[in-house]
Structure 1
Amino acid sequence: MTLLKRALFAILALALVLAGLAAIFQTRLATALYERRVDRQMSLDRIGTLPDGLHLAFCGTGSPLPDPSRAPSCAVVIAGDRLFVVDSGAGSVGNLLLMGIPAGEIEAVLLTHFHSDHIGGLGDLALQRWIGTGHTDPLPVMGPAGVDDIIAGFNQAYARDATYRTGHHGEAIAPPSGFGMIALPFETTGFEQTAPVKLLENGGLTIWAVAVDHDPAGPAVAYRFDYQGRSLVMSGDLVADNSPGFQALAAASDLLVVEALQPRLLDIINEGAQRRGNDRLDTIMTDIRDYHTTPEQAAAAAQMAQARALVLNHVVPAVPTRSLNAAFLGEAGTAFSGPIRVAEDGMVVSLPAGDDSVSFQSWR
């Protein structure tokens, strides 16, 4: 073997050794980073870091339209140490858990209406709440007339899965009595009326509901939470200008959360669909305009209510980067004198007890 060949073999052998050492190092580094990530996630106590008051954590701020940055509708209301979920769109439960919100501590779910993007995550949410602390009671789900059928369907769909969980983990982890959900329907007047329904009043917390116009997807409601002198109102989907009960419910609220659809951006989608001969998409993008609220209308409603802050939620169409927020907001800033934010998954709005401040942070 020539000297050159020996040198080449030596270099190759050294390269293989170095590659092996690099692989070992990368594996150990990756494992160490994973350990740190798991420890950080498991030690999260986001709820414990919040001051007493009323807080709203968004775990889904999108719609049925595909949006890489947003899951469909879901928000967690935190009143002191009590947790309530408003709507549960598919994929939002993962966000909820990644945000460090303990699913096992959820007291109840409140549904605004029964469109698929507001209920698709219910089965997963109930499962996480059940297994999270070994609940022996089903997850209460409040909603207007028809919620019984929705919950019965989810319970049936997940019934076999429940037997797997208990069979695998045992009754101490997955007690059969804690499986699923229980429907708690309430009655509302028509959306033409202004009288709200009181759903809960204890521990300093009051929850109200009022019917709103989202025809034909009715009944639909909005909710108001009052706690320690602070208040927030969540609209669900609605035509704000045709929902007098919502206007009354929103009066003097600290935080008003309203779904919003920007027609100017939908025009761009319509034009693209027309150029490509996609009549179906063109029709759908036209149809959805008549039972939603524009950012400008939401801002006008907030101004009329004298709300302290406005968050635009259920963003239609998708605005996956903040650079598009200005186009989505349109002229909303001229209609409302307070702060306006476009909701994002992971956004948390805090209303501390004892003052009138409104602050924003991200749990992503």
Structure 2
Amino acid sequence: MSATVHRLAGSEPSLDPMIDLVTDDMTLVNVAIRDRMQSEIPLIPELAGHLIAGGGKRMRPMLTLASARLLGYSGSRHHGLAAAVEFIHTATLLHDDVVDGSDMRRGKRTANLIWGNPASVLVGDFLFSRSFELMVEAGSLKALKILSNASAVIAEGEVNQLTAARRVDLGEDRYLEIIDAKTAALFAAACRIAAVVAERPEAEEAALDAYGRNLGIAFQLVDDAIDYTSDAGTMGKDAGDDFREGKMTLPMILAYARGNEEERQFWKDAVEGRRDSDADFAHAVDLVRATRAVDDTIARARHYGQRAIEAIAPFAGGPAKDAMIEAVEFAVARVY
């Protein structure tokens, strides 16, 4: 076991070790991504390329590659699967921005704002189709089952979130159920498929699944906290987007539960779309700070981050394990 120090409360962790670890593999994945987003219909690569080349860190496919390195896998079947993971993620982003009516993504105008909702939905469908082609070509029925199941779970999570929209009575349990499906499921699958193609025991599959799932939950919790603490330059979207869209994320859930009658009425009005001005958002920020809702959201992210690190404790130490641990630390530290 590695003696790596877990710096979840420490200083400035980075994704650079993971990026460096998988650079060569990621070059091949990027080739697959560029090849499969091509089409004789010019709008498809134009719209897909807007998002795929839009500055995302490609964390999910990197997790597939890093997990393969952790296992000592020396084959190439994981390259296509990592590309499939990125296509699934990109397709869900295209669909999400349509559902949410978003106009910013990673600091750029969203595809739906530029090309319209119908084009964004249809190109998202195209990318889903490409992802399934890549899964089949990997030649693993088990990997296909894991990723196709993750795709279904993500869609269920999105529908669950849609039906919970603008409901101030959304509790913490249902919120965690939603983010486990819409965010953590793909993180988990991205890691698990590496053990499948490496033909490792079920216990190692489960360990990587747990690492990815807990990292995904921590990642989303921090995203939700950042909505009340950051700006477009840091996050790639405007601060307060979740607030203005009436999304009951954990900071709002906690602040509502801890508020007095007047404060709870404010949150109810906000969720129902009656309080969405800049002044309202400033008041919301004051309330989540006063009730320690953001602090406790970050504390929960640390908890899930530590669970992710513990999940890979049985694996041998080395650059891959260290990079995966630091990736967790980076995910949690983004809020600062």
For normalisation by structure 2, the TM-score amounts to 0.28
- Largest Rg, 1 or 2: 1
Q: Larger relative CO (CA 8 A, sep 6+): 1 or 2?
A: 2
- More strand as a share of residues: 1
TM-score after normalising by structure 1: 0.27
* Higher fraction of helix: 2
